[in-house]
A and B are shown apart, each in its own frame.
Chain A
Amino acid sequence: MADGSQLIGTIMETQNRFDLNRACLRWRQDLVQQGITPAEANELESHLHDAMADLQSRGLSQEEAFWIARHRLGPVFDLADQFAKANPARVWQDRIFWGAALTLVWLAWMQIVGLSIALLRTFGDSVGLHGGWNYLAVQIVTLLPLPVVAVLLARGTLSKICAVLTRPFFTPRRLATVSVVLVAGMLGVQSLMLYQIRSYLPAHLTGQVTAAINFFGSLLASAVWPVTLVLVMLRLAPRQKQPAA
């Protein structure tokens, strides 16, 4: 208990001592992280100081003035959005970014489809179902998402899901993590399938060397697109720091 109240005491003490420089710095960092250039952030900060001076001359404390001035400038995300919209070059960067993101998701989805079909076929083989089952497996896997998407769309939850799914893309670090996981997953699936294909090949074709070259060659080839897309995305990540004008 004593520790708890002591902690609360410390927190309150820290809150009481308002450090303008630190508050400004943190705000600036938020702005830049959301895609506002340092030059633009300088101007917004100068505005903040002007507004604060005005408020303080009317009797507000420094801390009150800071929060009100900050509030009047609007939420950081909205600010970044308005700045981005006013710059056509950045609008295009955003479009290309989302195009790349969608293509990457599509590639990943195709991998999942491929893997699911392979698994369903293996299952079909193991229980003695053939031709007709294979056809059905392809149908199930490729058409399954359509009713799911339709239901989600009808219930209005699709936009919420999209908002959650796109959240990882808003900071470069998270974007990089997600992309690496996605690409690694895709390559993992690809190598599994390549391995399986190789095991089907007749013995005289599976000389160790040829197999190794084919294996890594194919893997490299299938990595080209996802990696290119990830690089494009990292370069154009929206809300990412832009070079100062």
Chain B
Amino acid sequence: MISKDLVAASSRPLILSILDEEGESYGYAILQKVRELSKEEINWTDGMLYPVLHRLEREELITAAWKEAQTGRERKYYRLTQAGRNALKEERQQWLTVHNSLARLWRLKTVSI
């Protein structure tokens, strides 16, 4: 299981990357996606996602809109803004730098940044 601090730190790049990949998505689907990607190792409590999403929204990295889903209920869908895409590039670079540093120490494959 991933530690609490790492869960908190990685929430931002994960959300930005998922929205980049999916185009748009909503809270529950983002959570499911994170569980699936991490094979249940990254265990976000359901409630912690929304404050993070709202912070990203205030930073104008993502925008949100209420839309009617197929179920007939309304859902709040999030998508990346241009600033969000730029922030994601920055995040990606930082995380890969960390990744490569550890990879070199652990004699694993590095990736090009």
Interface residues, chain A, with chain B CB atoms under 8 Å away: 40, 42-44, 46-47, 49-51, 53-54, 72-74, 78-79, 82-83, 85-87
Interface residues, chain B, with chain A CB atoms under 8 Å away: 26-29, 32, 45-48, 50-52, 54-55, 58, 66, 71, 73-76
| Minimum Cβ distance to chain B for residue A191 (Å) | 48
Given the known A-B contacts A50-B28, A86-B55, are A73 and B76 also in contact in the complex, defined by CB atoms under 8 Å? no
Residue of A nearest to B49 (CB): A47
Asked whether A85 lies within 8 Å of B51 as measured between CB atoms, the reply is yes
| Minimum Cβ distance to chain B for residue A48 (Å) | 9
Asked whether B52 lies within 8 Å of A86 as measured between CB atoms, the reply is yes
Residue of B nearest to A46 (CB): B75
The secondary structure that dominates the A interface is helix
Given the known A-B contacts A86-B52, A86-B54, are A46 and B74 also in contact in the complex, defined by CB atoms under 8 Å? yes
User: Chain A residues with Cβ under 8 A from B74's Cβ?
Assistant: 42, 46
Asked whether A47 lies within 8 Å of B73 as measured between CB atoms, the reply is no
User: Chain B residues with Cβ under 8 A from A46's Cβ?
Assistant: 26-28, 73-76
Q: State A74–B58 Cα separation when bound (angstroms).
A: 24
User: Chain B residues with Cβ under 8 A from A40's Cβ?
Assistant: 50, 54
Asked whether B50 lies within 8 Å of A44 as measured between CB atoms, the reply is yes
Asked whether B51 lies within 8 Å of A73 as measured between CB atoms, the reply is no
User: Chain A residues with Cβ under 8 A from B45's Cβ?
Assistant: 72-74
Asked whether A44 lies within 8 Å of B47 as measured between CB atoms, the reply is yes
Residue of B nearest to A44 (CB): B50
Q: State A72–B52 Cα separation when bound (angstroms).
A: 17
Task: Please pick, from A49, A53, A79, A87, the residue contacting B47 in the complex, using a CB distance under 8 A.
Answer: A79
Q: State A132–B32 Cα separation when bound (angstroms).
A: 75
